[in-house]
Amino acid sequence: MRFMDQRQRTSVRHFDHRPWLFAEEASEEQRHAQGERQREIGGETEIGERCYVAESAAVFPDRLRLGDDSYIAAHAYVTGDVATGTDCTLNPFTTVRGAVTLGSGVRIGAHTSLLGFNHSMAPDRPVFRQPHTSRGIEVGDDVWIGSHVVVVDGVTIGDHCVIGAGAVVTKDVPAWTVAAGNPARPIRDRRDGGGKAPGGGTELSRFADTARAQAPELLARHWNGERYVDRVGAAPTVRAHCDAVEIADLLLGSAPAQVPAQEHVVRLRALQDPDTGLVPEFDEALPYDDHFPGEGASLYHVLCVGYALDLLGSSLPHPVRGAGEMTARQLVARLEALPWRDGAWGAGAWIDSWATAVHWNLARGEGGGVEPGAREALFGWLLTRADPWTGMWGEPSAEAGRLQVVNGYYRLTRGSFAQFGLPVPHPERVVDTVLDHARDSRYFGAGRENACNVLDVAHPLWLCTRQLGAGTGGDGYRTAEIRAWAERQLASALPRWRDGLGFGFGPGTAGPGPETGLQGTEMWLAIVWLLADLLGRSDELGYRPRGIHRPEAARRTGSR
């Protein structure tokens, strides 16, 4: 008897979470119990045929009309005056309160809230004593509202709309619109494969037009009269100057207007130390190292100064000594000593810098770019050390998950395999690993994404899908999941642009923080391109990165 009771309890929980199975799989006893459940709801209740209301749902309406073949799933909370058409679903943990009317064929994702009422907020009394107001929420037919969405009072969502996960809907959404973000904005029309958004053009093209129009003002804002600063009031940095060059090239096709183009070249070339070939930060000494520094700003300056000069039609005036003189044996010893176990990001950053220094040395065409066998030693070591289960280098940790590994993978492959036009090992496993990492809510929860973490997923996905030959079609390896992730991230990224200010880097301990600045703007512009290209829509932007975040190889193996 106790065994049968356990089966019954399990069965009820099963249908509460999977109510679409009830019509076909429920026993007569369970159907009778469901009928009693519906009759006990109270209020003015009208429930159609083949409906299901979960035992665990809190349903206390004033009036409830549930159309045929509709259900309210586990732990939903329903109060007020709620009416649905046929084939509507309120999935687990949804909240529907106040005056809410749904058409037919509406899907409400888990943890979503439709709040058809509001509090007044006059200053004459405490909030908890304020009267309620209610204009109601209306949702049309054939609408999909994703998980963790909030729809506020007074909103109408038209027929055939799709609302992306995590959106906050504060204004009416026209029929056929795909909307996402906080606040939700239209990103395209469901009927148009090209992604045209209501109002003309596309959301991507309108974003790019806005960014281009505001770029001169943005760059001028970050010029202190002598040098570029990442954020207004901050100290000038070498990277800020390089980011300004990248942004101007990307959006304007020219050098920043604060000084003549040749003056940019003169200033950047003068920063390189002629003995080491490295570039220190302003007013700082270079770190001492026999071959190549292990950390510090000079590592990234190999990338940003070199590519800024490249965009300006120039190059570093001196070879990078640590890349040109390091033997294959010394290089392998250095690779073995990198902090793969607890600092894979730093290890990847070192390889990115060293390999990029080799690229600049080889571009000089003087025959002294790299010691014989050193470049081959780099790729040989990497190919034999890649984990066949993840396609990556380094190990995840309980504290940070895959963050170090994935972010290190981006830096490592950017400077080596991608920059030199070589295929990465185990691309399917890489896709598996980064998609798994992209589900880590510590870094990809609502409002938690920063430019570094999104870029370090977007680029590996872009790199591997191109290598696998999947393009943007629907039959490649996990293509549907990749496109869905890119769609969500793009919908979240575009609203981050602040008029006249650009992008902020984003939250987290790494990077300059959420305040708008040149670094955040340069990185997010490249991210938007990568995400759009994963969706086959990058042509709508009218720009393509040519600097650090260029998609093409900068050098093919074997070329000098």
Q: What is the pTM of this model?
A: 0.67
pLDDT confidence band for 368 (50 / 70 / 90): low
Question: In the prediction, which pLDDT does 62 show?
Answer: 93
Provide CATH 1.50.10 ranges for the chain: 203-540
pLDDT confidence band for 20 (50 / 70 / 90): confident
Please answer whether residues 486 and 458 qualify as being in contact, where contact means their C-beta atoms are separated by less than 8 angstroms.
yes
pLDDT confidence band for 475 (50 / 70 / 90): low
Burial class (CB in 10 A: 0-12, 13-18, 19+), 122: exposed
Tokens of 493: 């990224």
Helix (H, G, I), strand (E, B) or coil at 229: strand
* pLDDT, average across residues 531-558: 86
Please answer whether residues 376 and 420 qualify as being in contact, where contact means their C-beta atoms are separated by less than 8 angstroms.
no
Q: What does the alpha-carbon distance between residue 340 and residue 396 come to, in Å, rounded to a whole number? A: 10
* pLDDT, average across residues 293-319: 94
DSSP codes, 53-89: E-TT-EEEEEEEEE-TT-EE-TT-EEEEEEE--SS-E
Sheet strands side by side (includes 106-108): 52-53, 71-72, 89-90, 106-108, 143-145, 162-163, 177-180, 185-189
pLDDT confidence band for 77 (50 / 70 / 90): very high
Question: In the prediction, which pLDDT does 474 show?
Answer: 47
Q: Which residues contact 95 (CB under 8 A, 6 or more apart)?
A: 76, 77, 78, 112, 113, 114, 115
Would the pLDDT of 174 be above 60?
Answer: yes
* pLDDT, average across residues 473-481: 77
Angle at 450 between CA 447 and CA 454, to 5 degrees: 110
Q: Which residues contact 524 (CB under 8 A, 6 or more apart)?
A: 451, 493, 496, 497, 503
> In terms of Cα–Cα distance, which of 489, 410, 478 is closest to 166?
489
Residue with tokens 């512009």: 525
Question: In the prediction, which pLDDT does 126 show?
Answer: 84
Would the pLDDT of 2 be above 50?
Answer: no
Would the pLDDT of 332 be above 80?
Answer: yes
* Continuous H helices in 438-513: 441-444, 451-468, 479-493
Parallel, antiparallel, or unpaired for β 118-119 and 132-133? antiparallel
Q: What does the alpha-carbon distance between residue 375 and residue 215 come to, in Å, rounded to a whole number? A: 39
Question: In the prediction, which pLDDT does 199 show?
Answer: 53
Question: In the prediction, which pLDDT does 559 show?
Answer: 46
> In terms of Cα–Cα distance, which of 196, 190, 194, 149 is closest to 168?
149
Q: Can you state the angle between helices 261-270 and 238-252, rounded to 10 degrees?
A: 150
pLDDT confidence band for 357 (50 / 70 / 90): very high
Provide CATH 2.160.10.10 ranges for the chain: 2-189
Find which of 145-149, 263-267, 541-545 is predicted with most confidence, using mean pLDDT. Answer: 263-267
Parallel, antiparallel, or unpaired for β 71-72 and 52-53? parallel
* pLDDT, average across residues 343-361: 96
Q: Taking the mean position of all CA atoms in its chain, how far away is CA 550?
A: 18
Helix (H, G, I), strand (E, B) or coil at 502: strand
Angle at 122 between CA 116 and CA 127, to 5 degrees: 65
DSSP codes, 375-441: HHHHHHHHHHHS-TTTSSSS--BTTTBTHHHHHHHHHHHIIIIITTT-PPS-HHHHHHHHHHHTT-H
The identity of residue 150, as a single letter, is: V
Parallel, antiparallel, or unpaired for β 132-133 and 113-116? unpaired
Question: In the prediction, which pLDDT does 8 show?
Answer: 43
Q: Which value, to the nearest 10 degrees, does the dihedral of the CA atoms of residues 18, 24, 25, 29 take?
A: 110
Q: How many CA atoms lie within 13 A of 412 on its CB side?
A: 28
| CATH 1.50.10 corresponds to the domain 203-540 | yes
For 494-533, the pLDDT digits (tens) are 999 999 999 999 987 777 889 999 999 999 999 999 999 9
Q: How many CA atoms lie within 13 A of 131 on its CB side?
A: 3
Q: Which residues contact 543 (CB under 8 A, 6 or more apart)?
A: 208, 250, 251, 525, 529
Q: What does the alpha-carbon distance between residue 292 and residue 83 come to, in Å, rounded to a whole number? A: 68
Domain 2-189, architecture per CATH: 3 Solenoid (2.160)
What size, in residues, is the chain?
A: 560
Contacts made by residues 291-294, CB under 8 angstroms, sequence distance 24+: 291/322, 291/325, 291/326, 291/330, 291/334, 292/322, 292/323, 292/326, 292/334, 292/350, 292/353, 292/354, 292/357, 293/322, 294/346, 294/350
Q: What does the alpha-carbon distance between residue 511 and residue 13 come to, in Å, rounded to a whole number? A: 46
Parallel, antiparallel, or unpaired for β 132-133 and 95-102? unpaired
* pLDDT, average across residues 150-163: 93
Please answer whether residues 131 and 149 qualify as being in contact, where contact means their C-beta atoms are separated by less than 8 angstroms.
no
> In terms of Cα–Cα distance, which of 69, 39, 63 is closest to 51?
69
Question: In the prediction, which pLDDT does 7 show?
Answer: 39
Distance in Å from the first CA to the final CA of the chain: 80
